[in-house]
Amino acid sequence: MKQQLTCLALLLGLFSAQTSSAKAYDCRQNAIHETEGAYETFRPFYLKAYPTSARYIRHRSGLVFVSDGAWNNRRQTITVVRKVDNDGKPEYQQVGDTFKTYIEQPYLCFSFSPSGKSLRIRSYFDDDGAPWDEVKDISGYLPETIEAMKKGLAASTTLAEFTRFIERYEPLTVLAKSKAILAEAKQRQHALNVELYQREFASASEQYSVVALHNYLTAYPNSSEKIAAVNLTFKLVEQQQNLAGYQWFIDHYPQASQARTALKAIHSLAFEDAQDIDSIEAYNDFIVTYPLSSQREQADSLAYELEEDEYSNFFTSDEKLARALSIRAKKIKRLANETNNDDYLLVVARMTRLLEDKFPAEKPTERHLENEEIVSVLRNVSSQLRNINRAVNKIADNTADLSSILSSQSNMMNAHFSEAAQDRDMAAKYTESHRFWERYMEK
pLDDT value at position 11?
Answer: 43
pLDDT value at position 52?
Answer: 46
Share of the chain above pLDDT 90, in %: 36
CA-to-CA distance for 297 and 274, rounded, in angstroms?
A: 13
Helix (H, G, I), strand (E, B) or coil at 110: strand
pLDDT value at position 24?
Answer: 42
pLDDT value at position 346?
Answer: 81
Query: pLDDT digit string (tens) for 102-154?
Result: 445 455 667 788 788 888 777 655 556 666 777 888 888 888 899 999 999 99
Q: Please, which residues bridge with residue 122 across strands? A: 109, 133
DSSP 131: -
For the chain, give every domain's residue range: 278-399
Q: Please, which residues bridge with residue 64 across strands? A: 58, 81
Assess whether pLDDT exceeds 50 at residue 190. yes
pLDDT value at position 272?
Answer: 96
In angstroms, what CA-CA distances link 336 with 332, 345, 384, 391? 6, 7, 14, 21
Q: Average pLDDT in the 91-112 region?
A: 62
DSSP 72-108: TTTBPEEEEEEEE-TTS-EEEEEEEE-SSPPSS---E
When mean pLDDT is compared across 189-193, 257-261, 328-332, the lowest value belongs to 328-332
pLDDT-derived band at 275, boundaries 50, 70, 90: very high
Q: Average pLDDT in the 360-381 region?
A: 70
Q: Average pLDDT in the 166-174 region?
A: 94
Assess whether pLDDT exceeds 60 at residue 69. no
Which tops the pLDDT comparison, 304 or 215?
215
This prediction has a pTM of: 0.68
pLDDT value at position 412?
Answer: 83
pLDDT value at position 350?
Answer: 82
pLDDT value at position 73?
Answer: 53
Query: pLDDT digit string (tens) for 258-268?
Result: 999 999 999 99
Average pLDDT, the chain: 78
pLDDT value at position 384?
Answer: 77
pLDDT-derived band at 49, boundaries 50, 70, 90: very low
CA-to-CA distance for 354 and 329, rounded, in angstroms?
A: 11
In angstroms, what CA-CA distances link 205 with 211, 212, 252, 333? 11, 8, 18, 50
- Would you give the distance in Å from CA 300 to the centre of its chain? 39
Q: Starting at the edge strand that comes first in sequence, how are the strands of the sheet with 118-123 ordered?
A: 108-112, 118-123, 132-137
pLDDT value at position 22?
Answer: 35
pLDDT-derived band at 297, boundaries 50, 70, 90: very high
DSSP 70: B
Assess whether pLDDT exceeds 80 at residue 180. yes
